[in-house]
Amino acid sequence: MATVWGKHFFALGPLLALGVVAALALFLRWAFPGRNTSLVERKARPGNLEDYGLLTAVGSPASAIEASMWQQALKDSGIRSTLAQTTQGVRVMVRRDDVVQAESALARVRGKQP
């Protein structure tokens, strides 16, 4: 004796998959509403020097080569640094705790430059 779903059982799988996808779509619309909450990375935009939290600017290199030299000198001194595009131009940023050491390391590098 055949069951009621016997002839149409093949349609159950795709219908179930469609229901799961629809439920997931509704959940994601609820969890991430609006256009301004995208998880896609946005283009970086310059900020003020005060917008970098615990980082402090210790110099503004004139070129990418100079910035690379400064970062290498800081790295050799055991100081972590980063380059930040601010509204005032490119700045070499370090943690506030490392400012004095970073300035002395950069002073040694600047003294070697002609």
Q: What is the residue whose two structure tokens read 């439920």?
A: 23
Structure tokens at 76: 């050799």
- pLDDT band for position 53 (cuts 50, 70, 90): confident
- Supply the pLDDT for residue 1: 46
Structure tokens at 56: 């402090």
Q: What is the pTM of this model?
A: 0.58
* Residue among 108, 99, 98, 100 at smallest CA distance from 70: 108
Domains and CATH numbers, the chain: 49-112 (3.30.2130.10)
The C-alpha angle 58, 67, 96, rounded to 5 degrees, equals 25
Q: For 66-98, what is each residue's pLDDT tens digit?
A: 988 999 999 999 999 999 888 888 899 999 999
- Supply the pLDDT for residue 95: 94
Q: For 15-46, what is each residue's pLDDT tens digit?
A: 899 999 999 998 988 887 766 656 666 777 88
